């Protein structure tokens, strides 16, 4: 097998996509894949990862658990000192006027206010708490070139209960009412990102300590919460695919909705359009991840063999 990998392809700094990842990493077992995928994408200028809370259903320390999980992934990859990690808010915002300040919200503000002609992509794998807080702390960022990509919200047009939205409905309303460009991947789309145990064992498990951990933690999670499953939807991974190629799926511009307390969409038509994805190219996304992880492991194994 040759030594050439995607990491040998040169992407000039000015064409790399500025990206921040916001992740409720310890909530389930799929954030981990989307985190690793972002870290391994050389055309991304990854400006930081913000661990996020995921409510209080399972723990009262959800943000801290997401933080610890993020650090664990970077440690397993040997990249802890190469990726900035800033803690997000420990709780949801209490209303649509009150932010929860955090280092993560300040990171968003810092990057948004930079004199950089490139858009700032901020991918939210969980609640929109830190985006809403950043807007409330520094309203000027509403005028900046930011693209918010959100895995969340129920199926269109009705909506209904959805986990990421349930953890901060107020924050979702703040973002939907803003001027920011939003790309939404609703539940009906992110649930189509299924992979089976057999495929993960063949393509992910052999790829070093990080590959082994990704598979084992997924199977362990399912054994606890979904014991009849032989698969998992890697539902946060569309964020990576649509930053890589915004047209790796079908989407439409629709007037931004708001959400009532039952998480139903409220269609007033008074807010600017958002991009709503109707489907995504699962092959494009999954195969890109499998290939990058394999090439990362091959490259690291070759460096170790050379004593580097």
Distances (CA, A) of 278 to 9, 138, 287: 32, 32, 20
pLDDT averaged over the chain? 97
302: confidence class by pLDDT, cuts 50, 70, 90: confident
Q: What is the pLDDT of residue 306?
A: 47
Is the pLDDT score of 191 beyond 60? yes
DSSP at 237: T
Provide DSSP, 202-218: HHTTTSHHHHHHHHHHH
Coil/strand/helix, residue 98: strand
Is the pLDDT score of 23 beyond 70? yes
Q: What pLDDT, in 10s, does the model give residues 241-285? A: 999 999 999 999 999 999 999 999 999 999 999 999 999 999 999
- Whether CATH 3.90.245.10 fits 16-305: yes
Helix axes 282-305, 31-39, angle to 10 degrees: 60
The secondary structure of the chain in percent helix, strand, coil, rounded to multiples of 5, reads: 45, 20, 40
304: confidence class by pLDDT, cuts 50, 70, 90: low
Going across the sheet that includes 120-124, the strands are 44-51, 17-23, 120-124, 146-151, 181-185, 273-280, 249-255
Contact by Cβ (8 Å): 169, 261: yes
* Count of CA atoms in the C-beta half-sphere (13 A) of 198: 0
Contact by Cβ (8 Å): 184, 271: no
Coil/strand/helix, residue 120: strand
Q: What is the pLDDT of residue 308?
A: 36
Is the pLDDT score of 167 beyond 50? yes
Q: What is the pLDDT of residue 305?
A: 54
Q: Where are the domains of the chain?
A: 16-305
Q: What distance in Å separates the CA atoms of residue 85 and residue 174, rounded to the nearest whole number?
A: 24
The residue count of the chain comes to 308
Chain centroid to CA 201? 23
Choose among 50, 227, 33: nearest CA to 123: 50
Per-residue pLDDT, averaged over 27-45, amounts to 98
Is the pLDDT score of 238 beyond 60? yes
Q: What pLDDT, in 10s, does the model give residues 195-228? A: 999 999 999 999 999 999 999 999 999 999 999 9
Per-residue pLDDT, averaged over 101-113, amounts to 98
Q: What distance in Å separates the CA atoms of residue 4 and residue 156, rounded to the nearest whole number?
A: 43
Per-residue pLDDT, averaged over 110-127, amounts to 98
Tell me the residue ranges of DSSP E strands in 173-248.
181-185, 194-196, 231-233
**Ramachandran area for residue 55 (φ above 0: left; ψ -120 to 50: alpha; else beta):** left
């Amino acid at each position: 097998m040759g030594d050439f990998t995607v990491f040998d392809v040169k992407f000039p700094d000015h064409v790399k996509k500025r990206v921040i990842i916001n992740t409720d990493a310890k909530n389930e077992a799929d954030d981990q894949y989307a985190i690793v995928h972002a870290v391994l994408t050389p055309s991304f200028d990854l400006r930081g990862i913000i661990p996020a809370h995921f409510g209080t259903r399972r723990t009262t320390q959800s943000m801290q658990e997401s933080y610890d999980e993020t650090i664990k992934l970077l440690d397993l990859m040997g990249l802890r000192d190469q990726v900035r990690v800033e803690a997000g808010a420990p709780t949801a915002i209490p209303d649509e006027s009150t932010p929860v300040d955090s280092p993560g919200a300040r990171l968003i503000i810092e990057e948004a206010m930079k004199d950089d002609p490139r858009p700032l992509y901020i991918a939210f794998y969980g609640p929109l708490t830190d985006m809403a807080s950043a807007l409330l702390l520094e309203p000027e960022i509403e005028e900046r070139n930011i693209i918010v990509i959100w895995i969340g919200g129920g199926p269109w047009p009705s909506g209904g209960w959805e986990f990421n939205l349930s953890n901060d409905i107020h924050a979702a309303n703040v973002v939907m009412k803003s001027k920011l460009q939003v790309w939404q991947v609703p539940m009906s789309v992110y649930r189509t990102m299924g992979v089976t145990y057999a495929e993960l064992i063949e393509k992910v498990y052999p790829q070093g300590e990080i590959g082994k951990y990704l598979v084992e933690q997924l199977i362990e999670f399912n054994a606890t919460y979904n014991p009849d499953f032989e698969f998992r939807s890697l539902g946060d991974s569309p964020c990576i695919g649509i930053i890589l190629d915004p047209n790796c799926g079908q989407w439409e511009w629709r007037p931004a909705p708001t959400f009532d307390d039952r998480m139903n969409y409220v269609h007033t038509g008074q807010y600017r359009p958002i991009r709503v994805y109707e489907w995504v190219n699962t092959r494009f996304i999954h195969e890109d991840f499998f290939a990058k992880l394999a090439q990362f492991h091959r490259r690291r194994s070759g460096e170790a063999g050379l004593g580097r």
